[in-house]
Amino acid sequence: MAETVSWKPERRRAVAASLLLLAAYFLVPVEPDPNGLRLVLRSLVTLAVVVVVAVLVTGQVRQQIAAVRQGKAAELRSLIRLAVLLVAGLLAFALADYVVARSRPEQFVGLETRVDALYFALATLTTVGYGDVHAQGQIARVVVCAQMLFSIGVITSGASILVKQLMSRPRR
């Protein structure tokens, strides 16, 4: 007997989780850092978040591969988690870029708001790089290098599996 899977509740959960992550991104307080200590602490917290997201995305990629054999319901749950984790990874780097730009304004050119940071993180993730916002200082370049490596190694593999699974689904 074929397994019936409803996309609606799962999609609602994914959209809700992504919107909560986006709201958290815009609401996290970020004050300028006159002495550098906050920047170091925020960098360590951001690094920890990125490592956790990388581990979780890698685990979801493995689960997605295994879920294909387990049935549509498991596959769907795994896809939803993977999509939300990809959003979390993007927002973690956007926030890191914003914190660096607020703490050290000379590090980025054209990055002044959280929307600028989100735009820059997404442009970096997609390798579009329009050039209007770019890393200028050494701290910003280290953050962006980490972002590029994370994008290549984690986000790209997760996104490719997500797109592949979505494209292989039969249309109604």
Overall average pLDDT of the 135-163 stretch:
82
Residue 68 is predicted with a pLDDT of: 60
Buried b (16+ CB within 10 A) or exposed e, 9-28: ebeeebeebbeebeeebeee
Contact between 96 and 73 (Cβ < 8 Å): no
* CB atoms near residue 156 (< 10 Å): 14
122 pLDDT higher than 80 = yes
Which stretch of DSSP H or E encloses residue 158? helix 156-168
Question: Would you give the DSSP letter of residue 127?
Answer: T
Contact between 136 and 143 (Cβ < 8 Å): no
Residue 134 is predicted with a pLDDT of: 93
Can you give 87-101 as a three-state secondary structure string? HHHHHHHHHHHHHHH
Written as six digits, the tokens of 49 are: 């978040």
d(CA 102, CA 32): 6
Specify the residue for token string 């769907």.
Answer: 76
d(CA 125, CA 101): 18
d(CA 116, CA 127): 16
List of domains in the chain: 33-168 (1.10.287.70)
138 pLDDT higher than 90 = yes
Question: pTM, whole model, 2 decimals?
Answer: 0.73
Residues 81-91 pLDDT 10s: 777 888 888 89
